[in-house]
Amino acid sequence: MTLSRASAAEEQSGAGRILAAAERLAPVLRERAGEIEQARRLPADVVELLRGTGVFGMCWAREWGGPELTSMEQTQVVEALAYGDASAAWCAVIGANSGIYANFLDQTAAKEMFPRPDMVTAGLLQPSGRAERVPGGYRLTGRWSFGSGITHADWVTSGAFVFQDGQPYASPDGSNPHESRQFMVPREQVEVIDTWHTTGLCGSGSCDYTITDVFVPESRSYTFDTVHGRPSPLAQPDSFTRAMCGVPLGVARAALDHAREVALTRVDRMTGTAWKDSWRVQVALAECEADYNATRSGVYRSMTRQWEVLAAGGTLDDLTPDERAASPLAWVHAFRTSRSIVARLYDLLQTWSIGRGSVPDRALRDTTTMCQHLVAQDRILQSAGAYLLGARPEFGIALGIV
């Protein structure tokens, strides 16, 4: 595995321990990948193996007893897990967002909700539900899709439009004619609908779910424009999306390493030429490595610059327009370039790729599926492009705009 980053010295830090544990778990996840895929969700013991690495608690602030990993460190951990299995890494990065959401929740309520830092939150942030204002909170009803990790979650966060007396509720400050919010509901009050039959990310359990007339206290609702916790680089509207690109990067790295291993052992049956001496193989691998290296560097460079400004006490507005747009553009590029690398390697290996459950087969299906997620869609490109032109981004939260 050429992805390894944690040295012996680094393992002494919280981030180093989590990364090293993720790297040790990756071969186990690779061995269990077929079982995870067949189950269409993470088996309970795999969830516990992930929990044991510390990944679910990696976003919690130090005052909560968490390691408060930087966005860069989080992405490295996700890469390491994805090197073993994409679905496990996908659930890990989403489940780890509990520590990020806590920054936007009433702090007393958050401490009651999360007595441990390894509790998992799942759910869809898109406002697909309806929340009726009532004394002390809201009555929440709706159906949401793509609840990745919901089968093993402790809490479910869901977006909904707010109504009062049956009418759209406008924000008191006039900023929004129809307010939407996020709502936290205990998993046991959510009904999961088994809809997850997909091309890739089969083991993520990203099922639909419903919530029916559940009371949500005001303290368990939140918006991304109000921080209740300590201001920090992770208490930002875009922070829950940053590390997701570690999944495609980890998958692409695994596919590259697999292709190189194959190339060292194969001989062309028509010519008798060893693959390692083949011009075709050499050029294809080099092109894919070049694209991977450039793409990964772009992710970490833009992420590091953003973190430097925020860690120094600045805001996202202190970034130049180019610097602010660079991060979401790097996310999209990581997803799409990883898919392109995997597809080219699939073609390079020819019939050695097509076996169901082989590394190239699963990588092709996983990257194809994850590229359909919002963070890899044209809406992110439109938002970054509009921002650079001074126009209106459709999905401003990708730029930290709410």
CA distance 98 to 26: 23
3-state SS class at 13: coil
Q: What is the mean pLDDT of the chain?
A: 95
> Are the beta carbons of 151 and 192 closer than 8 angstroms?
yes
Evaluate if residue 345 carries a pLDDT over 60. Answer: yes
CA distance 182 to 140: 10
CA distance 40 to 56: 20
Tens of pLDDT, residue by residue over 141-193, are: 999 999 999 999 999 999 999 999 999 999 887 778 899 999 999 999 999 99
Q: Largest alpha-carbon pair distance within the chain?
A: 79
The tokens of 383 are what?
């938002």
Instruction: Assign 381 a pLDDT band (cuts: 50, 70, 90).
Output: very high
CATH topology of domain 120-222: Butyryl-CoA Dehydrogenase, subunit A; domain 2 (2.40.110)
Alpha-carbon separation of residue 72 from 100, 243, 308, 397 (angstroms):
15, 7, 11, 19
φ/ψ of residue 183, rounded to 5: -135, 130
Burial of 11 (0-12, 13-18, 19+ CB in 10 A): middle
Q: Shortest CA distance to 131 belongs to which of 167, 175, 100?
A: 167
Please report how many Cα atoms fall inside a 13 Å half-sphere around the Cα of residue 291, on the Cβ side: 23
3-state SS class at 42: coil
**Sequence ranges of the domains in the chain:** 10-104, 120-222, 242-399
Tens of pLDDT, residue by residue over 302-338, are: 999 999 999 999 999 999 999 999 999 999 999 999 9
Tens of pLDDT, residue by residue over 269-280, are: 888 899 999 999
What mean pLDDT is predicted for residues 76-99?
98
**What angle (nearest 5°) sits at the alpha carbon of residue 177, between those of residues 175 and 182?**
80
Kindly report the CATH number that applies to the domain delimited by 242-399.
1.20.140.10
| Single-letter amino acid, residue 16 | G
Query: Is CATH 1.10.540.10 the classification given to domain 10-104?
Result: yes
Alpha-carbon separation of residue 8 from 12, 17, 67 (angstroms):
7, 9, 18
Evaluate if residue 395 carries a pLDDT over 50. Answer: yes
The tokens of 239 are what?
């922070």
What mean pLDDT is predicted for residues 259-264?
96
| Single-letter amino acid, residue 320 | T
CA distance 315 to 86: 33
Q: Shortest CA distance to 204 belongs to which of 42, 17, 340?
A: 42
**H helix or E strand, kind and range, residue 26:** helix 14-39
- Give the DSSP letter string of 134-189: ETTEEEEEEEEEEETTGGG-SEEEEEEEEEETTEEPPPTTSS-SS-EEEEEEEGGG
Q: Do domains 10-104 and 242-399 have the same CATH topology?
A: no
Tens of pLDDT, residue by residue over 125-148, are: 999 999 999 999 999 999 999 999
Q: Shortest CA distance to 54 belongs to which of 95, 90, 4, 103?
A: 95
**DSSP-based helix, strand, coil % in the chain, nearest 5:** 55, 15, 30
What mean pLDDT is predicted for residues 203-219?
98
Alpha-carbon separation of residue 361 from 291, 307, 352 (angstroms):
20, 36, 9
